[in-house]
Structure 1
Amino acid sequence: MRTGKGGHKVKTAIVITVILLAFIFVLDLGSYYYLKDTAMSISQSIEALPEKIENEKWDTATDDLNKASNRWSSVKGIWAVLINHDEIDKIDMSLVRLRSFVQYNDTEEAMAEYNTLKMLVKHIPENQRFSLVNIF
């Protein structure tokens, strides 16, 4: 049985399509794990903040917040390529608010904003994970 030129074109198109889909899947998987790892790193950099805020250790809370801001600045550019800019803006705004509440020694507002920031950072990888819910 001979396959004509049209059959060869169909096979080539299928192979190219499969290769492209595999490339997209690998790229998506890589970006998910990058977001997950860097989100965990940022979360860990702010992990000690609640205790310092509750104990009113404002100087060390500020130091921790500066470290977290530096970590965020180092990944923000890559995140901008991978996720919606609105999400990045939300994290930026939350960091600014948290810094202000710590600066003015506002325990309640600082704790509330800490929880918001933590949720925003944690939410990013979950939102970007490959699933049918995220596609549709």
Structure 2
Amino acid sequence: MRLLAVLLILLGGFVYGAFYVNKQLAAQTAAMVTRVEEIKSAARQQDWSGAAQQITGITRDWRRQQGWWTLLMNHQEIEAVDFALARTQAAVESKDYYNCSIEAEELKAILQHIPEKEAFALRNIL
């Protein structure tokens, strides 16, 4: 009986942890997506210094979060974010609205895909 109680507590802790991590991942991703939208908006208005500030901020946030995301995600997903972020930064630096818009949209799509892919759901387990 005691073994069953311990197993249920461990299982409950695991499930709670999975949902907590998913919530945190979704919140951090949403914040980064908001910044990507701000980059697109600044580029649309030809405010390249504002776009540069946003890309610097999102890069700083990504570097800070990347440490624990590495434990949770596939290395290819992390590299995809790194590459999309670098391409978006290059587009902002070149002050090219069309490339900036395309690269920012790709970065946004990659970021939005992460919580869905890492969700604690049956389709991701099986």
Q: Same fold per TM (> 0.5)?
A: yes
From the CA coordinates, give the structure whose radius of gyration is larger: 1
1:86 is matched by which residue type in structure 2? Answer: Q
Shift in Å at residue 33 of structure 1? 0.8
Q: TM-score, normalised by structure 2?
A: 0.90
Q: Which residue is equivalent to 2:7?
A: 17
Shift in Å at residue 100 of structure 1? 0.7
Matches within 5 A, 1:1-136: 11-136=1-126
Q: TM-score, normalised by structure 1?
A: 0.84
Shift in Å at residue 77 of structure 1? 0.8
Q: Which residue is equivalent to 1:5?
A: none
CA distance in 1, matches of 2:41, 2:35: 13
CA distance in 2, matches of 1:53, 1:82: 32
User: CA RMSD for the aligned pairs?
Assistant: 1.4
1:112 is matched by which residue type in structure 2? Answer: I
Secondary structure of the corresponding residue to residue 25 of structure 1: helix
CA distances 1:7-55 after superposition (whole Å, capped 9, x unpaired): xxxx344333322211210110111011011111112222211122122
CA distance in 1, matches of 2:120, 2:57: 31
Identical-pair percentage: 25
Number of corresponding residues: 126
Secondary structure of the corresponding residue to residue 56 of structure 1: coil
1:98 is matched by which residue type in structure 2? Answer: T
